Amino acid sequence: MTLRLATLADLDAVMALERRNFPTDAWSEQTMGTEIASAHNHYLVDEQGGGIVGYGGLRALPGGTDADIQTIALDAEVRGQGRGRMLLRALLDEAVVRGAKEVFLEVRADNPVAMGLYLSEGFAELGRRPRYYQPDDVDAVVMRLDLRRWASTDGAVQGEASSESTGAAQTGASDAGQEATA
């Protein structure tokens, strides 16, 4: 399990995962490329055996006090190994480094695995956006994490793997209608 910074050279592999994980509402290649290339974002890939088996992204603007988890996705074959938690924690660590005090995300209401991961890391539900994920008519659960509190616990900079089954959790922060599945 190796996490590294994503580059545009990873775009084809990331898009292959994107399309497998989010078949009804995958981001476009242009959107994903813009996300990876943006200085405001921090995208990581998870490598195994020379291939990319996962990715995740964070948006945290300079001088801002909040950040957004944009997406987390894993190949089905590597779920349940703590990789989703590892990606999430690495993104949260970067949010701390960038000075964020809170982190937001949206997750599909029909994705209890992802919601369980986020709740276990300290996220709390703020509300719901009815029928947010299209074309599936699934509600988005809006969640928030107090990053200062998280950073003062064992969550920050630990990267401890969990046996929880985490898969893909894509938020709608940068492309309305994105799916969040884990």
Q: What tokens appear for 119 in the block?
A: 């709740």
Tell me the CA distances in angstroms from 35 to 26, 40, 72, 115, 151, one per residue in order: 14, 9, 13, 23, 25
User: Sign of the CA dihedral 167, 173, 175, 179?
Assistant: positive
Q: What tokens appear for 80 in the block?
A: 């349940």
Question: Considering 43, 55, 118, 133, which one is annotated as catalytic?
Answer: 118
Assess whether 94 carries a catalytic annotation: no
HSE at residue 5, side-chain half, CA atoms within 13 A, is 7
Q: What tokens appear for 177 in the block?
A: 């209608």
46 near 17, Cβ under 8 Å?
no
123 near 144, Cβ under 8 Å?
yes
Assess whether 106 carries a catalytic annotation: yes
168 near 74, Cβ under 8 Å?
yes
Question: Considering 35, 106, 121, 164, which one is annotated as catalytic?
Answer: 106
CB atoms inside a 10 Å sphere around CB 76:
12
17 near 29, Cβ under 8 Å?
no
Catalytic positions: 106, 118
